[in-house]
A and B are shown apart, each in its own frame.
Chain A
């Protein structure tokens, strides 16, 4: 009996080839900003329906348990009120900004920029990051719903993050508390700019994010002042609430201030988010 000789490549070579493929993929990702392409689509069609299903079941189950506790009405009302609070906070914020701008405009006269009302799409959070190092999550709306990379994501009245990659039916969101993410922020009371950077350490310890480089010469900024996204940011729409200043110290250079911000969004419990369909760059053009 003749056995057919089975050709097999030694494992070592497979390892070598696959290592090469991975490294090439990483290099391509760094240089050309390609992320996945067709892989994203295939994975999206396979995993997103399942994640969505589990999520629906989870929500249904939590709903049922709420019914058992006969709390659903109260919760609904609370949600409604919370929504109203969020709405009013963001409205108040815009008004504050507008007021500030009005003062500026009176001085400058020929500036007539207004805060556009952004188009938004509501989406559900269906998956969290696999590890514990970063705060990324997946939402159940993608390019089919008009979502593109670099769109801002908000929840309630505060900024959550930014879309980093899009599949046909899902999008990956990187939140502002991520250790590698920076936002250009502005204090509404004095309109001084600063750099807000997410930090795993401060988030885990005190539920805050760091900010640096606040140039406040008159020292008017105080703890509790709201911080919004700055007009100089090239990724984030202007005037979205980031959070409130929770601590403030003068830097060693005696010129700038740094400190921490309590985010306006509860990042542990985000279920629904809104994606702003206007991109900063496209509004400028």
Chain B
């Protein structure tokens, strides 16, 4: 229960930062994608199931306030969370290479899919432009934010896991 509340808070804070604070800190009108950092991190830290749910709710939030069609981002982020969850066995908290790799892959694939479904289907064929001027800058900016946000999320997760273990051992 405690974990759920804290995770919900993290999602809300990420969403609020992404929609209110970061647009005014944008470089060349590109804002980083904090939601994907949260979804991806919880995916590989906690496994497929939690990744799936967190992805779904993050996506739903984006759908309600930003998307044009309800369910699109929810579906996208849900699969991102689920796929990241598959890498849980490879994940070690000390190693930062895998998280960076996974988060950047997630960010890129979300953007590629958005391009594919929302732009390519409307005859916007100039992929190279969108890739170089939108996806790559967002990726770089998200990476910079990841270094800060991910370490924070890792610490929160560790504290939660410790307190969960403690309360579990009490009952046994």
**Which A residues are closer than 8 A to B by beta carbons?**
11, 14-15, 18-19, 21-26, 28-30, 34-36, 39-40, 43, 46-47, 50-51, 54-55, 58, 126-134, 136, 138, 164, 170, 172, 174, 179-180, 200-201, 204, 268
Taking A35-B70, A58-B20 as contacts, is the C-beta distance between A18 and B52 under 8 angstroms? Answer: yes
Specify which chain A residues have a CB less than 8 angstroms from the CB of B133 in the assembled complex. Answer: 204
B64 interface contact, C-beta 8 A:
yes
Specify which chain A residues have a CB less than 8 angstroms from the CB of B74 in the assembled complex. Answer: 22, 25
Let me know if A132 and B31 touch, CB within 8 A: yes
Supplied contacts A18-B52, A43-B61, 15 more A-B pairs, CB within 8 Å? A11-B49, A11-B82, A15-B82, A21-B71, A22-B75, A22-B78, A25-B74, A26-B75, A35-B69, A36-B64, A127-B65, A128-B20, A130-B66, A179-B122, A201-B124
Specify which chain A residues have a CB less than 8 angstroms from the CB of B75 in the assembled complex. Answer: 19, 22-23, 26
Specify which chain B residues have a CB less than 8 angstroms from the CB of A201 in the assembled complex. Answer: 124, 126, 129-130
A sample of 21 cross-chain residue pairs with beta-carbon separation below 8 angstroms, ordered by A number, consists of A14-B49, A19-B75, A21-B71, A26-B69, A26-B75, A34-B70, A46-B12, A126-B20, A127-B19, A127-B65, A128-B31, A129-B66, A130-B19, A130-B35, A131-B31, A131-B62, A132-B138, A138-B65, A170-B65, A201-B124, A204-B134
Let me know if A180 and B12 touch, CB within 8 A: no
Specify which chain A residues have a CB less than 8 angstroms from the CB of B124 in the assembled complex. Answer: 179, 200-201
Let me know if A40 and B64 touch, CB within 8 A: yes
B93 interface contact, C-beta 8 A:
no
- The distance from the CB of B83 to the nearest CB of chain A, in whole angstroms, is 10
Specify which chain B residues have a CB less than 8 angstroms from the CB of A127 in the assembled complex. Answer: 19-20, 65
The residues in B between 55 and 99 inclusive whose CB is less than 8 angstroms from any CB of A are: 56, 60-66, 68-72, 74-75, 78-79, 82, 85
Let me know if A26 and B72 touch, CB within 8 A: yes
CA distance in complex: A24, B129 (Å): 33
Query: What 6 A-B pairs have minimum CB-CB distances, sorted nearest first?
Result: A25-B71, A127-B19, A22-B75, A26-B71, A128-B23, A22-B71
B15 interface contact, C-beta 8 A:
yes
- The distance from the CB of B140 to the nearest CB of chain A, in whole angstroms, is 12
What is the size category of the interface that chain B forms with chain A? 35 or more
Taking A19-B78, A54-B21, A180-B122 as contacts, is the C-beta distance between A130 and B62 under 8 angstroms? Answer: yes
Specify which chain A residues have a CB less than 8 angstroms from the CB of B130 in the assembled complex. Answer: 200-201
Taking A14-B52, A132-B138, A179-B124 as contacts, is the C-beta distance between A36 and B24 under 8 angstroms? Answer: no
The residues in B between 4 and 24 inclusive whose CB is less than 8 angstroms from any CB of A are: 12, 15-16, 18-21, 23-24
